Structure 1
Amino acid sequence: MNKFKILVSLLLWQGAVYAQNSTSILLKNATIIDGEANVKPRIGSVLIENGLVKSVSYTPLKGVKSQTKVIDCTGKFITPGLMDSHVHLGTADLTDLKKAHATTDSIMGNLLVHGITTVRDMAGNAPFLAACKKKVQEGKVSGPDIYYAAQFAGPGYFAMMGNGRKGEVDLGTTSWYRAIKSKADVKPAIADAKNAGVTGIKIYASLSKELIREITNEAHKQGLLAWAHGAIFPSKPMDVAQSNVNSMSHANDLVFQQIKGDTIEIGAAWAQLYKGLKLDTNVRDQMLLEMKKRGTFLDPTVFHAENNKMANAALITRRANQLGVKIVAGTDWIFPSKNESIPLLNEMKLLAGKCGLSNLEVIEAATLNGALVTGLNDRGVVRAGKRADLLILNVDPLKSLDTFDKPAFVIKQGRIL
């Protein structure tokens, strides 16, 4: 590390120490990467007050309060805090709650150290997730903000899963894991899920297209989002998209649209895939254009797919981006509890390297789009009035996404960590 870098690091450290109890911080002379891909990065300054971005200025600021702590970020880069749009923090063995919380607390701390300030949890034990969320909100543990889902599926799915898991009550009977048999089940089930604190309903498996549509419509009526797998089985991906869900997870699932018939049987479909089902590009494009028309986000989980030898995920995601489908960065992968590299970085690098997204588009997928798919309008960009969830980076992320592995500083709700 040269003398200039040492000096900058010391200045940042000094500013960070003094800023801990300050409600006003000025991050001066950084290259600001807004979070929206079509906004050109520029050198400017970010003023933080009371946990929010007070202003973003691209000209010298005047009238800065004397009590404002100024951090010279010359040569640094500021982005919004990252968001992993597909995690599972509440699916571990909960027999020993104390142990489960200790492990999850460590995972959450590692998420935050690596710049992940918000997560969308795609279904787990709601009381456990609510407790984790509360601990973070109250400052008892360090971690990202958590927004979680209830998982709805047909009774056949829960029967297949053995109607229970160690450490939990029977699956399919709780507000967060609910078996849906008919339309009559939907309204009260969604009300129960809402009371459990969920942000969205995860539409998972063994549901007809009529029930998918009913769940989606009722979720929206009750102020919740509808997040679905790409294929619900026996329902096909086009059935899911035409139900107006807010997002579809797993790009690889979209290949099942090309299987003949009005419905698909899960075992036969996966058997075809592993025998080498060739991607029909015409069917793929029809599917993606439907998603674009309806504003449906794609949660491709490319890292997950690559680890399971599903090459179609990257091909579909590349085409989705070309056609203008909005993409989010989610992993559906296990996060380490120690201070180790995170799978979200792998996902981001694959979005760039295999799926053709520019680094600005990757950053948008991991910031702004993650916020939008979760219904959050208060974060995801570096703009006045938004939450001050920010990263200060040493290296230009437009040249190397690896810089996200070790942010110089993480700022969450105006507090430098």
Structure 2
Amino acid sequence: MKSCLLLLALMLGFGHHSRGQLLLKNATIIDGDAGVKPRIGSVLIREGIIEKMIYDGVLPSDKLTVIDCTGQFITPGLMDAHVHLATVNMGDQKGAHMKTDSILQNMIRHGITSVRDMAGDAIFLAEYKRKIATDQLIGPDIFYAAQFAGPGYFAEMKGSSRADKDLGTTPWYRAITPETDLKLAVAEAKGAGASGIKVYADLTKKQIAAITREAHAQGIQVWSHGTVFPAKPADGIAAGVNSLSHAADLCFQQMKGDTLGFHEAWQQLYKKGFTLDTVVQVKLLQGMQQAGIFLDPTIFHASNNKMWNALTITRLAHRIGVKIVTGTDWIYPEKNEAVPLQDEMELLVSKCGFSPAEAIQSATMNSATVTGLHDRGLVRAGKCADLLITNENPYTNLATLFTPAIVIKRGKCVNSL
């Protein structure tokens, strides 16, 4: 109750639409990098940016708003690095907006200040990105992908319940053939606001390598499925993609042959008696670690689908030193309900050998870096002031991150439970 009343007073006095100057005083600072020990200090924020960290020194005396955080903790805002906000029914725009508005508000309420959307309608996503950036709407900052896949994949999708007429023909849903002008395709994806290319399905290892080269040449990321049938996981690593999604997909590396048939491979994976070859996995994960490729394991999603090998692979990846990010690829609630990112982080700790500090790094610094962002994910001078103030120590109670006393978005106190 005390924190809610404080937040209300701050929003009324500080100005909901003003970023101004804010001092967060005497908190225990959790940096976001698991290798940095928490310290008691203060955070000076000006115009939405952390101007200064004050650990040993005189606090500024000029006119600014002060929040006394004695006994509280400050962490970076959280990031879900694998969501899908724009794959709802785009034919019902009013319904889609109502649903998305509620989801985004619930994300902020639970401490999520940024998301990486892994393929959806770019027109819809760009509208939300702009509204959030210009303070017309409170929500996490949105960074999204353009989906590149082979024509066979899009033909199959058109025959399914999601029968968008433009699948495969837009800058954000692009069918790639040997004749595709990749320079133009990537440029058009960038023009649609995409921060990265999602390499999805029905592509050869040669095509994955060509897409990756062109995307990197144009300054955007490449986020690949763990397995891009018929290509295998090692092909994405050889291409130098920025991340692989779905730890369970890495199981397919041990299957015989240089290429994979989609249906046959999945049947083999779920066949009774399938045994994970950890020797193959270690070699694959060592390649990821050496290439600096992030793993987006989506272990909550995998667990819900009884793909238990994902937990083993993530545990091995962590031990080998592969950088892990927190993506859920799961449905977000519209009401004030618990969010799947909490489940993802708790599984990292309970099943995959992570310390709470390492799970927090995965959801902050790592998830920002894999998205190509260097302005957030850490509580340091020069970073965006997307911060959480919690009443309990997240290192001893990870769940406190999802019931923050105050959420600060670009220097503004925006929400409370």
TM-score (norm 2): 0.95
Question: What CA distance in whole angstroms lies between the structure 1 residues aligned with 2:104 and 2:19?
Answer: 25
- Secondary structure of residue in 1 paired with 2:231: coil
- Residue 26 of structure 1 and its aligned partner are, at CA, apart by 0.9
Question: What CA distance in whole angstroms lies between the structure 2 residues aligned with 1:219 and 1:183?
Answer: 17
Give deviations 1:94-113, integer Å, cap 9, x for gaps.
Answer: 11212211211111111111
1:106 paired residue number: 102
Question: What CA distance in whole angstroms lies between the structure 2 residues aligned with 1:8 and 1:90?
Answer: 34
Preserved contact between residue 183 and residue 211 of structure 1 (Cα < 8 Å): no
Q: 1:17–1:258: structure 2 CA closer, same or farther, 3 Å change rule?
A: same
- Residue 63 of structure 1 and its aligned partner are, at CA, apart by 3.5
1:324 paired residue number: 321
Q: Aligned ranges for residues 126-275 of structure 1 at < 5 Å?
A: 126-162=122-158, 168-182=164-178, 184-275=180-271
Which aligned runs of 4 or more in structure 1 are off by greater than 4 angstroms? 6-13, 163-167
Q: 1:242–1:307: structure 2 CA closer, same or farther, 3 Å change rule?
A: same
Q: 1:208–1:22: structure 2 CA closer, same or farther, 3 Å change rule?
A: closer
Question: What CA distance in whole angstroms lies between the structure 2 residues aligned with 1:169 and 1:384?
Answer: 47
Residue 369 of structure 1 pairs with residue 366 of structure 2: yes
- Structure 2: segments with no counterpart, 5+ residues: none
**Range that drifts further, 187-196 or 244-253:** 187-196
Question: What CA distance in whole angstroms lies between the structure 1 residues aligned with 2:58 and 2:309?
Answer: 50
1:3 paired residue number: none
Preserved contact between residue 29 and residue 44 of structure 1 (Cα < 8 Å): yes
Residue 379 of structure 1 pairs with residue 363 of structure 2: no
Preserved contact between residue 81 and residue 380 of structure 1 (Cα < 8 Å): yes
2:290 paired residue number: 293
**Range that drifts further, 197-206 or 165-174:** 165-174
- Secondary structure of residue in 2 paired with 1:205: coil
- Residue 15 of structure 1 and its aligned partner are, at CA, apart by 4.3
Preserved contact between residue 31 and residue 76 of structure 2 (Cα < 8 Å): yes
- Structure 1: segments with no counterpart, 5+ residues: 1-5
What is the one-letter code of the residue matched to 2:408? I
Aligned residues: 411
Question: What CA distance in whole angstroms lies between the structure 2 residues aligned with 1:94 and 1:221?
Answer: 32
Q: 1:176–1:11: structure 2 CA closer, same or farther, 3 Å change rule?
A: closer
TM-score (norm 1): 0.95
Q: 1:188–1:8: structure 2 CA closer, same or farther, 3 Å change rule?
A: closer
Question: What CA distance in whole angstroms lies between the structure 2 residues aligned with 1:241 and 1:354?
Answer: 25
Question: What CA distance in whole angstroms lies between the structure 1 residues aligned with 2:262 and 2:61?
Answer: 62
Question: What CA distance in whole angstroms lies between the structure 1 residues aligned with 2:304 and 2:335?
Answer: 22
- Secondary structure of residue in 1 paired with 2:158: coil
Q: 1:12–1:102: structure 2 CA closer, same or farther, 3 Å change rule?
A: closer
Question: What CA distance in whole angstroms lies between the structure 2 residues aligned with 1:362 and 1:303?
Answer: 14
Q: Aligned ranges for residues 53-64 of structure 1 at < 5 Å?
A: 53-64=50-61
Preserved contact between residue 3 and residue 405 of structure 2 (Cα < 8 Å): no
- Residue 386 of structure 1 and its aligned partner are, at CA, apart by 0.6
Q: Aligned ranges for residues 302-313 of structure 1 at < 5 Å?
A: 302-313=299-310
